[in-house]
Structure 1
Amino acid sequence: MNPYVLIAEDEESLVELLEYNLRAAGFRVDTVLDGGEVMNRLDEELPDILLLDWMLPNVSGLEVCRQIRRKVEFRNLPVVMLTARGAEEDRIRGLDAGADDYVPKPFSINELIARLRAVLRRVRPILADQRIVHGSIELDLTAHKVMREGEAVHLGPTEFRLLRHFMEHPGRVLSRAQLLDAVWGRDAEVEERTVDVHIRRLRKAVNAGDAPDVIRTVRSAGYAFEPPRAEG
């Protein structure tokens, strides 16, 4: 699962350039053209990183960044601000508003990609690693293997993707719609109850024997991954 970047930018030619190059660099990309739509899109699916233009219609990128940092569920979202306002005082305002990095226009696309990756490594190191470990569960992205307490856990492809998404967002309650978008894809024609079927399969495999259940059901909301403690 490639890192998901949401681009908030209203200059269409720049959006096309960013989309093409970021996809070529291995990112999953989505865009919004209006500052007022950013928060709605975050509610639908939280990206791994937000590339945010300062001069957006309706709501400025600076105000969007402030709103993000005020909301608990978005507070740790990495934000890279992209803007033509390159003066030192503007950079300070952007960083004070909560941006993790500040890239003035015009910019080198290669440098921008490098800075996005640097922020991800610093803020979301899981995305830069080939293993995800929480307590006694280890997921190896390269070998496509899962271990719990040293024992192999055999998962189908969908259950593997589900567990990966859960482990990348520990403790966060994820709705069925969010899981469908992240694991099956936004355009997939799959019913939400399909999620429940695969959750049951995932639980059966990961919680074999007397192992505590690591998938918590949150009534009327969805599911959350609760990392198990490492034994020993």
Structure 2
Amino acid sequence: MAEIYLGKQMTSPALPAAAPMPGAARGWDGVYWSAATDEVVRLEWKEGTLRQVGGAALVPTGADVFRPDGLAHEWRFTAPPAGSSASPELRIRDFWPSSRVFSRVTEPAPDADALAGFAGRYRSDETDMHYTVRVAEGRARLSWARQYDVVLEAVGGNRFVSSLGTVTFTQDARGVVNGLTISNRRLRKFHVPRLGDGGEGSRQPEPPLQDFSLR
């Protein structure tokens, strides 16, 4: 019925025409992080194309501009000025109300000693929930009530990705881990203090982000 009244407004936007894959595209792979939303985007060069890790290929539409295969989004890469120590940036324009800027992560993944420093118990007063971080077979895992258990995949520094979203471990002025934050499309930087190291209680989460994805 909606299609009768809205007509062409119901049709999907036309996809930008594909362009030849530029040779420079191979240099855009890596991990990117948005300070505004705490999202992590991982890109790899595979089978002759730039693609999301475990996801869609990126189709070139112009100089350093791409779109995910089948979607009318815009992913625009920008290199830092010559001689600058800044990281390359990725600007994504999709279903969100505004574009987001991502910077390439340059910190190395944590070694075994650093992973061990994340292990411990964490508690949120806001949700009255206990979380446990442990390291098994060289990988960090996060578990909580009702038998939930997820693998934390390191992407650089204190930041990890998981089926729960982005998990980042926080530190005090001495560099001691004192908590973790959880971010996803509906929750942004929700802080959970570490028991014994970060005091009691947790702060209120920041306002949740609206979900403009198709998922």
Question: Structure 2 length as normaliser, TM-score?
Answer: 0.28
Task: Point out the structure with the larger strand share.
Answer: 2
